[in-house]
Every structure is written in C-alpha cells, then in structure tokens.
Structure 1
C-alpha cells in the first residue's frame, strides 16, 4: 500500500530556537506514539537550519527538505544555494515551483526545468508544485494551466526519473487565504493530473506517483481531503508551524 506523505513547508518562519525545539518535541512524540507508521513525513525549514534539523532527525525515517535551489551548479549568484551544497549536508529532498516562488521571484517553467535537471543530477527528490490562480479558474483555464506546467517541466524527464518526484497541487487562490478547494474540486484535479501521467508514462507510473494537496490544509479539514481516491497526502503551510495542529493532520 502506498504511503501517505505529509510535508511541512515552514516558509520564512521559525528561528533557530523554535526550529530545534519543535523538531525535538515532534520527534519524541512521533517515536512514543508511532504515528509515522505507514506515512512519510518531511519537514522543510529555512535554509540556515537545514543542517541542524537533519542532525536532529538523523537515524529516523523522518526527512528534511529544502524549500528551493538555484538552477546553476555554482558561480557568482550571491545569496543563492546550490543542489551540491544541499547534498553535502545530507539533504535529499527539495520543493520546487511553489506559487510564492513563481509570483515573488518570477520563476517560470523554463527556470523550473533547469532546477529540476540540476536536482536530478545530484539525486535530489523533488516536490514539484503546480496550481492555478483564481483568475485562471474563473476563466475555466485551470486544466490547461496545470497541463502546461507539467508538460514544460517534469514531462521533459525520462520515465526512470519519475521515481524522484512527488507532485503537489496547490490552487494559488487557496494558499494562505483561508479558502479551500472543495473536496470534489481537489479530487477532480488530482484525478486529472494522474491521467496526464497515465497518458505520458503509462499505468504503473500513474499509479505509483504521489500527488499531494496543498492549499490551507488544516487539522479540521485534512481527513476529508486525504480520504479522496487520488489524494496521496498534503503539503501543509501555516498549520505545520503549530505542533499540536500538525500532529492532528498527520494522525488524520
């Protein structure tokens, strides 16, 4: 049975003390209650705390992810972080294509494809985010938008590379807004994404690829999202910052 995957995207939140205390308390509860059984749990803290976070979780099946990488191998890119740097401190997961990166840092599909290629070169597992804006949905363009985001990025990769991917569907209009896609809307889009992988790579890959939902997931609604046939877990933002709420989401 395919594991449910829960990813905490902390974005630009939690300082050193909050990061380390959260992870130590979280790890203690996870091990005592064994709530990580048949689940893959990934935490994405800020860049300065990746190394210490990875050390805290070392020897467990909990994983640490970076929130981004630069598309170049190395060079004069002040303030940026490369895939090889992450690899050198034992980080094996990276989030790419989050709508906030697309919006605030003008990342387009061309840039994301370069980031995907460099991530794969260094053996990083990729959580690739896709999603439409409220305007695009109102224009009934959501399916075209998602298809284009996939065709111009991950669909340039070989079938052998797909084992390195999770796809996270995050409707942009539901991120940090308190709004949610309905369970039916989320399931419909997840089913559509899976059908695109079926047409491109075949049944086995379509069945095996994990497609996660993100967009104001909370401890109050997570269970109903996770019950949908094609939703394999969640990419959690604000509610992953609070230990009790995040634990409830995992247990749901």
Structure 2
C-alpha cells in the first residue's frame, strides 16, 4: 500500500504570539492535498495556533503530555486537555525528553496509553546516540525503544501510531544521516513492526527526524521506507518548512 506522507514541525521551546500569527497565517495557505502537514507548538500557543489553522487542513499536535489523567500534578498537561484544545497528535519519547528529563520506555508507554485513550494519535520517537552508533548498537537501541509498544499496545492502538526515527547525533547539529543510512534504519524499524503484524508494517508511517531541510527532504522522502519527516529548526522558517512539506 502507499502510505500518505506526513511532515510534522516540532517547534520545541520556541514561539511567541506574534510568531504564531505570522508563521501559521502564511502556512495556512499551503495546499498539500496529497500529504498531511502537522505543527506542534509549545503548550501556551496551542489555542491561538488552532484558531490560525481553522479550516486550513493543517493538523496540530503537542510536544508531550502527562502520564496521569488528572489530579494534583502541578505544571503537567493531560492528554484530555490536549484533546479539548483540538490537538490531533502528541509527540512522545523525543530524545530530548529521554536524555534531559530521564524519561524511560515504561514512562513513554504510560503516556502513550493516556494519549490513545483520548482518541489522539502518537508520534513515538526512537533513535540512537553517536556513541551507540559508533559501537554498532543502533539496532539494539532502537529495537529496545520499540519493544514495549509492540508488546503492550493493541491492534486498534497501532492504527493511531506513527514512529519517528531520530538519530540523536543528527538533531540540531547540522549533521544528517545519508539517505542510505536513514533508509537502512527505517527498513529495520519496519521489520520490527512486521514481526508484530504485517499490516502494522504496511500501514504505519515511519518518519525521519534528523535535521531535515529543504535541500535534503526530497531525497530522504523518496526512500521506500521513509514516509515523511519530523522537522525541528527548519519548521520555524515558513519558506524552509513549506519547501519540505512539498518535497
């Protein structure tokens, strides 16, 4: 089957009200009927972002969520709250959450359960560090990060899942995996999905998330197992992001 391309912009901790209005005001005119375009602003800007994107066909997601449904968890944002402000996706397990905040595979699984129970889609991030790749451990690391989701999520859950491969050594460094390196890891990920069920491998979109830019997007997206990109810094530049979306 032909999987529909998905280009997702992860703004990380970058935004202002003026930026939301300017960037999304321009992006809302993008016509991309043959692919999905998603933006993930920081929490405070989700409501104005939803207003800017209304009627545009561009999707909106969040960059994280709480592991709990509700309660006395100061500073946390629940999946139900994200659904309430019209999010459709949530990024979970991003390498920055894993490395800077100590998020484990078990915690990421708990968060996935919260998101899926609210009817939202998950972008599950997986990827190895430079040290792990140099040691030849990239497949064992990525396979381990996928293992709990493959074991614990049901078939209906997997219909709402996207996987993003982000080589940690190529995030924000200007380095990018070669198309061949990226394809090899995407093929490995798809083989792990196929071991769970062939239809999951056939239907699940696997995105590349390591310094995607306008000048490398087309070659990356042309690889047989790469179904789009999880874009960081370039998603903050409307010209760059538009070029990536149309690659």
TM-score of Structure 1 vs Structure 2, range by shorter chain: over 0.9
Alignment correspondent of 1:20? 21
1:156 CA displacement: 1.2
CA distance in 2, matches of 1:50, 1:180: 29
- Among 207, 216, 222, the alignment partner of 2:202 is 207
Give the conservation status (yes or no) of the 8 Å contact 1:113–1:154. Answer: no
CA distance in 2, matches of 1:251, 1:60: 16
- Among 90, 96, 110, the alignment partner of 2:86 is 90
SS in 1 for 2:162: strand
- Among 28, 32, 35, the alignment partner of 1:39 is 35
Alignment correspondent of 1:219? 214
SS in 2 for 1:71: coil
CA distance in 2, matches of 1:12, 1:171: 20
Alignment correspondent of 2:49? 53
The superposition leaves residues 39-65 of structure 1 with CA deviations (integer Å, 9 ceiling, x where unpaired) of 100000110010111122122321100
1:154 CA displacement: 4.4
CA distance in 2, matches of 1:220, 1:90: 32
Structure 2 residue runs of 5 or longer lacking an equivalent are none
- Among 90, 111, 114, the alignment partner of 1:115 is 111
**Misfit runs of 4+, over 3 Å:** none
Aligned positions of 1:1-252 closer than 5 A: 1-28=2-29, 30=30, 34=31, 36-201=32-197, 203-252=198-247
For normalisation by structure 2, the TM-score amounts to 0.97
Give the conservation status (yes or no) of the 8 Å contact 2:150–2:193. Answer: no
Give the conservation status (yes or no) of the 8 Å contact 1:116–1:154. Answer: no
For normalisation by structure 1, the TM-score amounts to 0.95
Structure 1 residues 154 and 200: CA distance shift in structure 2, 3 A: closer
Give the conservation status (yes or no) of the 8 Å contact 2:150–2:196. Answer: no
Structure 1 residue runs of 5 or longer lacking an equivalent are none
Q: Which moved more, 1:107-116 or 1:57-66?
A: 57-66
Give the conservation status (yes or no) of the 8 Å contact 2:234–2:240. Answer: yes
